[in-house]
Chains A and B, each alone.
Chain A
């Protein structure tokens, strides 16, 4: 029998095959054997630039655990298998992939994707199904709903980026290196991230009204095609400090316009932006002295952090200038540690182990990984403030106990 793909017979065959595939995949759910953890990551689409870092971080933690002989589950040593899917940065696909990880792949626990909107959509699934979920990619506090007991956050809220930055400025004021009150011009991207950054700034300023005066508070849309007019606005308000919360493409355009328009501040910070390799690639010397708040930086003087840098750079080349793989690695490491302590893949046992977890050798600022119940199991660490050096390196300038030296402050107005 000749089968041409233009024939109705072919079409029917194709459809039957597709439906068989769907039925087969759904039916063969709950595969046994091995210990699995899974994640749906944005490996393509809007957040693909970060998704890859998360994959690297997760894979590293799993590989490390397996190299050490896996973990002991109910008296048997098992190696861990990491199952990853690509959600295309799409918030409606992402939860369905988590359902699939639970129902078809039979994972014992889940790791998060990246970006608050995607993680917000994801957390519904573990909360409904009662599966432990480790979040390394969504910093918003709104992710941790009231009554939450399945979602654990290894990433401090965005607000701590803002508040640590202001704490640093106040510390400089205390040491008479900066005047009070400081005139602050703040712009923020109109996303979840930017909105929480703004809240963080306002919260600190309400507590210390004598320290700061806000002279500009304006949002811009993510992925704007130009920022010159915004920078002209910043220029027109006369300020000492320029704070912006932007992601990379906007940061690049904004700082370009900043340099072109010849602005000067005693301190310039673009939220968490600054030390990335790709940024130096496009702006070179112009990023010198930028101050950024980081969830992690490779200069942190902790043993665990150094180990991670060595491992990661051995695998992927270096230097590792982004915080993403480190936090992802740490989150996965914490999850694996909790499963090992539970000695079981029973969801409730893993959850209880996560609630009780307190790793004293963390690579995160503060050196501790734990999930406090009073913040609905989201970690609350201070960030570190890092300044770019003219030669291409970075230096921690705050908090004082981790600092490598004093910050360089610009000439200002």
Chain B
């Protein structure tokens, strides 16, 4: 029973991380209808910037959220304005190629600056844990989960309650109609890409609390983010949160009760099964 609870709790905590790293991907797809292949680049950048701030100035990773989030917004908006924007009327696959190119460049820059060795950081609370009855909770994981929920609430608030959010949703629903009703679509696109990248980079910051990083870091989490976003319904932020947690729990239970090696098989099979079963509403 203790084992079951430990595994379950671990799954939930991991799941919230999955959700956080997928918000940005979902938002960008929702508004621009672009699959952001550079998502992994922003995640990786987030970890490296955080690592560097900690290594050089001793800044706590949670404080560096104040740096990585705005930086992510700026970089994302810049990528949209200079590159993605030019392909708005081309077939969607071309943006894949473009953003893959961006990812390659970012990776190369990271190799030149940081080299290829694994980097990781250690804070005073990195290895602390909290005993809650028979279950042990890791402090950094709790903190990250709290931020994931906070991110969800903030994003939901922006989308539902602010004018900017209204504009984002309008463009997501019908770009032409939104343009006709006076919404500056260009600016909305740049904003959405910016927010999406800010979310990705801040996710990287949070992940730096327990993952080590190399320039290739983004690849494995890009695939996982795809899973979460698609399971959650691509554009639905609430769905992404639920899907992330569901996936985290499913993986950990499989790993514990079936075989550790099969945790990722499960996440991918769940993904395919969910997609195929839901194909009616996926046609749109």
Q: Which residues of B contact A249 (CB under 8 A)?
A: 118, 211-212, 214
A285-B225 Cα distance, complex, nearest whole Å: 33
With A48-B215, A253-B211, A281-B121 as contacts: A224 and B6 at CB distance below 8 Å? no
Which residues of A204-221 are within 8 A (CB) of B? 218-221
A226-B255 Cα distance, complex, nearest whole Å: 10
Tell me how far the C-beta of A288 lies from the nearest C-beta in chain B, rounded to whole angstroms.
12
Whether the pair B118, A226 counts as a contact (CB closer than 8 A) is: no
Instruction: Tell which of A51, A221, A228, A281 touches B122, judged by Cβ atoms closer than 8 Å.
Output: A281
Whether the pair B212, A282 counts as a contact (CB closer than 8 A) is: yes
Whether the pair B256, A51 counts as a contact (CB closer than 8 A) is: no
Q: Which residues of B contact A253 (CB under 8 A)?
A: 210-211
Whether the pair B127, A259 counts as a contact (CB closer than 8 A) is: yes
- Closest residue of chain B to A190 (Cβ to Cβ) is B261
Chain A: number of interface residues, binned into ranges: 35 or more
Whether B120 sits at the interface, judged by CB under 8 Å, is yes
With A219-B260, A252-B212, A253-B211 as contacts: A226 and B252 at CB distance below 8 Å? yes
Total count of chain B residues near the partner, CB < 8 A: 43
Which residues of B136-155 are within 8 A (CB) of A? 136, 138
Which residues of A181-233 are within 8 A (CB) of B? 187, 190, 218-221, 223-226, 228-230, 232-233
Q: Which residues of A contact B197 (CB under 8 A)?
A: none
Interface segment, B63-71, B95-103, B109-117?
Answer: B109-117
A226-B144 Cα distance, complex, nearest whole Å: 14
Q: Which residues of A contact B214 (CB under 8 A)?
A: 48-49, 249
Q: Which residues of A contact B119 (CB under 8 A)?
A: 278, 281-282
A243-B50 Cα distance, complex, nearest whole Å: 32
- Closest residue of chain A to B128 (Cβ to Cβ) is A260
Whether the pair A278, B221 counts as a contact (CB closer than 8 A) is: no
A145-B215 Cα distance, complex, nearest whole Å: 34
Instruction: Tell which of B108, B221, B256 touches A225, judged by Cβ atoms closer than 8 Å.
Output: B221
Whether the pair B122, A283 counts as a contact (CB closer than 8 A) is: yes
Q: How many A-B residue pairs have CB under 8 A?
A: 131
Which residues of B209-268 are within 8 A (CB) of A? 210-212, 214-216, 220-221, 224, 248, 251-253, 255-256, 259-261, 263-264
Whether the pair B121, A230 counts as a contact (CB closer than 8 A) is: no
- Closest residue of chain B to A235 (Cβ to Cβ) is B3
Instruction: Tell which of B10, B126, B210, B215 touches A232, judged by Cβ atoms closer than 8 Å.
Output: B10
Q: Is the interface of A mostly helix, strand, loop or mixed?
A: helix
With A223-B220, A281-B120 as contacts: A228 and B10 at CB distance below 8 Å? yes
Whether B169 sits at the interface, judged by CB under 8 Å, is no
Q: Which residues of B contact A278 (CB under 8 A)?
A: 117-120, 212
Whether the pair B255, A229 counts as a contact (CB closer than 8 A) is: yes
Instruction: Tell which of A50, A52, A232 touches B6, judged by Cβ atoms closer than 8 Å.
Output: A232
A343-B220 Cα distance, complex, nearest whole Å: 49
Contact with A along B124-136 (1 / 0, CB 8 A): 0011010000001
- Closest residue of chain A to B216 (Cβ to Cβ) is A46
Instruction: Tell which of B3, B118, B259 touches A236, judged by Cβ atoms closer than 8 Å.
Output: B3
Q: Which residues of A contact B11 (CB under 8 A)?
A: 229
Q: Which residues of A contact B7 (CB under 8 A)?
A: 228-229, 232
Whether the pair A219, B216 counts as a contact (CB closer than 8 A) is: no
Whether A261 sits at the interface, judged by CB under 8 Å, is yes
Whether the pair B120, A229 counts as a contact (CB closer than 8 A) is: no
Q: Could you list some 8 contacts between A and B, CB below 8 A?
A: A43-B116, A49-B214, A221-B260, A260-B138, A262-B136, A282-B119, A282-B121, A283-B120
Residues of A whose CB lies within 8 Å of any CB of B are: 43-46, 48-52, 187, 190, 218-221, 223-226, 228-230, 232-233, 235-236, 248-249, 252-253, 256-257, 259-262, 276, 278-279, 281-284, 286
- Ranked nearest first, the 9 interchain pairs of A and B with the lowest CB-CB distance are A282-B120, A48-B116, A228-B10, A229-B255, A229-B256, A260-B138, A220-B260, A49-B116, A229-B252
